[in-house]
Structure formats: C-alpha cells, structure tokens
Amino acid sequence: MPARKKKKATSRNKPQIDLAAIRQRINQLDASLVQLLNERSSLVVKVGEYKRKAGLPVYTPHREAEVLERALKANTGPLPDRTLEAIYRELMSGSFALQQPLRIGFLGPPGSYSHLAALRHFGGSVEHEDLHDIAGVFTEVQRGHVNYGLVPIENSTGGGIVETLDALRDLAHKGRAEVVVCAEVQVEVRHCLLANCPPRSVKRILSKPEVFEQCRVWLARQYPNAELIPTPSSSRAAEMVAEESRKALAAARVPECAAVGSELAGQIYGLNPIFVGIEDNPGNITRFFVISRQRAERTGDDKTTAMFNTADKPGALAEVLNAFQRGGINLTHIEKRPSGRRNWTYTFFVDAQGHRDDPTVAAVIAEARQYCRELVVLGSYPRSKRIL
C-alpha cells in the first residue's frame, strides 16, 4: 500500500495572528511601564525625605497592606494575584532602598526558609543579614544593628517554634518592650531533595530534625535504608552536602549524600533539586513574625499577640480566657512554654483578632490583667491574608 503523502500546510491551517505587531505593542507597553515606575519612584524619594526629617520608619506594615489590597482589588486578570503581589513586593523593596538602606536580620545560614521568607516579604533590594540563631535576631533588632528581624513562630505541621517563643518570653521578662511584633508572614514550605548525584546513589540524607519529621513518610518509602543525619538547619545541611560532593567529584567518586531543604538553598550552594515537593503535607506553611522597634498602626483587620503568666490560684487561666470570650474577641492561637522562673509554672502565648488600640481589645486586655501575675502585649499587626 503506497505511503500517504503529508498534507502541505496551507494558510488556512496557520494561526491568524500578527505576531510582530503584538510584540511591538508589548515593547511599547514595557517602555510605558518603565516610565511610570520611575515616575512613581520619584514620588517615593519625596516621601523618604519627609520621613527622614520627621523621624518616621521607612517600612510601615499598615501602609504595605493598604497598597497591596488596592493593587489586588484593581486586578481584573489575566495576571494572577500571586504574580501581581510579587511584583509589588519587589517594587516596594526598591522603594525602601530609595528612601533609606534597610537591613533585615534572619535565621541563617543563607538558603534557610527564614531567608526565603525575608526575600519574599521584603524583596531583594534591601540588605539581608544572617544572624545565625533566633535569639541573635532579637538582640540585633533591640540594639539597632538591623532595622527589622524575621523569625519563625509556627509551622502548620510541626506546631510552635520553641526558640522563638522562648526568645519572646525572655525579652518580655527583661523588660525590653521596645522590640515588638509588627507584621506576620506566611510562606509555603516546599522541601526538596538536593544532591549532585543520581537518586539511586543517595545513602546519607542531611537536614534539620523538624524537616525530617515533615518528610517522614516520603523518606521512609523512597529511602528506607538511607542514614538520616541531623544538622542545625536545612541550609547548613545543603552547605555540608555541597562541600562533601565537591570532594567526592574531585576524587572521581560519585557523591552519596543529599540534603532536604529549599530550592533557594540548592541555588545558593550549587545543588540540584532531584525531587521537588517531598513534604508529607502539601499544604505545609510556616508563619513568621517581623519584629522591630516600631509599632504597627491599625488597619481594621489586625491581630494582637500577648503572653501572660496567670496568678497562682484556681481558675485563673479560665478567667483570662473568659475575659476574651466575654469581650467577643476570638483567640486564633494559643501556646504554652515553661516560664523559665519556677518549675511547673508556665507562660502562655495567645493571638487575638483585633489591634491593641481597638477599644474592645484594650478593655479585654485590662480585664485579663487582673488574673495574671504578668501580661505583656508583644505586638499588634496586620493579619496576613495570603501565602507567599
């Protein structure tokens, strides 16, 4: 049977579109965008001059929330809200740099999820400082060595971050109330297996114990015989694996180690993401606090974080919680930690809807204080509405 001849393409089969004209229009719009962005930036410079003379902070969470909400409300598509928000965050990052150089402290090393959260929230136009541990972030903000700090407070899988809770407790006990929580950030956590070897060659896997727990089922199924080696952080694991891999390749050996961490860590340390999204819970989210020496103003959609130690009498904890209930204030989160003062006494942390300057919230806090040995408002801030 003779082979069929391929049909020759005709003009009817070609898409009816003038690609050159569309690209020309895109170029024109790009030129307009750049002009408008620089026009906006010239106004930002004037705002910065005013703020410096008035002694006002450059980063104001309530204003950031207002700008983002207005931009997203005006979005009619097809550009996704997430993309538009990322553009505006980087635009605001550039605005910070024009007004005043900002230094953002984070829990390192570079490539950590705290580093990732700092980049997504503050953008890449500001300076990011690796402060090595969570207590160091608080100390450097308190001393004014960095303008803002970013620390993890809660993971949707693993729960509260004890190092941050203890640092908040110790800060309040020492009377350093000038450091406050001024914003919250939610970041999607996508763990990757990072390595410079074929998947079948991996015999040792390094990461932070909490990260292993978040990937426990996947690791047990895919690498049941691999040795899991704990490290201080997932980014430190990536750094160690990169160094060990370089040595193995220099000796003409196939590397046998991998790290579990972020794609950012892989980019920084030169490791390939051989598997992406290995967390057991695809909705894994870490919430972060931004800490500073300036309070955040009200937005109308805020949260307040407070810590307290109850009076040593029956029903004291119930009375504190009932004060919020009677005032109609919803508690969205509660944690407890050892008080650090006496055995078997505890410090409680709560997140409440509303701002400390709201009359109802202020009245509830005043009532709750009656049943506490100590109650400290750690900060009020705009409620995070989106996951970065």
- In a shared domain, residues 347 and 366: yes
Instruction: Note whether 114 and 182 are same-domain residues.
Output: yes
Domain boundary at 276, 309, 337, which?
A: 276
Q: How many domains does the chain have?
A: 4
* Residue 73 structural domain: 31-99
Same-domain pairing of 78 and 107: no
Say which residue, 218 or 109, is predicted with more confidence. 218
Helix (H, G, I), strand (E, B) or coil at 148: strand
174 in the same domain as 150: yes
DSSP lists the bridge partners of residue 303 as 353, 381
Q: What is the pLDDT of residue 53?
A: 85
CATH number at residue 302: 3.30.70.260
- Structure confidence by residue, pLDDT tens digits, 124-163: 889 999 998 899 999 999 999 999 999 999 988 888 899 9
In a domain, 70, yes or no: yes
Say if residue 314 is in the same domain as residue 182: no
Q: Do 200 and 303 lie in a common domain?
A: no
Determine the Cα–Cα distance for residues 188 and 284; give it in Å rounded to an integer. Answer: 6
Residue where one domain finishes, among candidates 265, 294, 323 = 294
pLDDT for the residue 154: 92
Mean pLDDT within 266-273: 96
Domain contains 23: no
Amino acid, single-letter form, for residue 204: R
CATH of the domain at 69: 1.20.59.10
Q: Are residues 70 and 128 in the same domain?
A: no
Tally the C-alpha atoms within 13 A of residue 14's C-alpha that lie toward its C-beta: 8
* pLDDT at residue 171, as a whole number: 77
Domain end call among 56, 83, 99: 99
Is the confidence at residue 7, as pLDDT, over 60? no
CATH of the domain at 120: 3.40.190.10
pLDDT band for position 15 (cuts 50, 70, 90): low
Whole-angstrom Cα distance, residue 237 to residue 228?
Answer: 11
> Does residue 121 lie in a domain region?
yes
Widest Cα–Cα separation across the chain:
97
Top pLDDT among 229 and 12 is at 229
Q: Is residue 185 domain-shared with residue 200, that is, in the same domain?
A: no
Burial-class residue 44 by CB neighbours within 10 Å (0-12, 13-18, 19+): middle
* 368 domain-assigned: yes
Q: In this structure, is residue 9 part of a structural domain?
A: no
Which tokens belong to 257?
A: 């180690």
Measured CA to CA in angstroms, residue 378 lies from 125, 128, 307, 368 at distances of 28, 24, 7, 15
Residue 4 has pLDDT above 60, yes or no: no
Strand 257-261 and strand 192-195: pairing?
Answer: antiparallel
In a domain, 363, yes or no: yes
Mean residue pLDDT across the chain: 90
| pLDDT over threshold 90, residue 1 | no
Query: What burial class does residue 171 get, using C-beta atoms within 10 Å of its C-beta: 0-12 exposed, 13-18 middle, 19+ buried?
Result: buried
379 and 300 in a common domain: yes
CA–CA dist 329, 334 (Å, integer): 13
Q: Which residues touch 268 (CB under 8 Å, ≥6 apart)?
A: 110, 111, 235, 238
Same structural domain for residues 85 and 107?
A: no
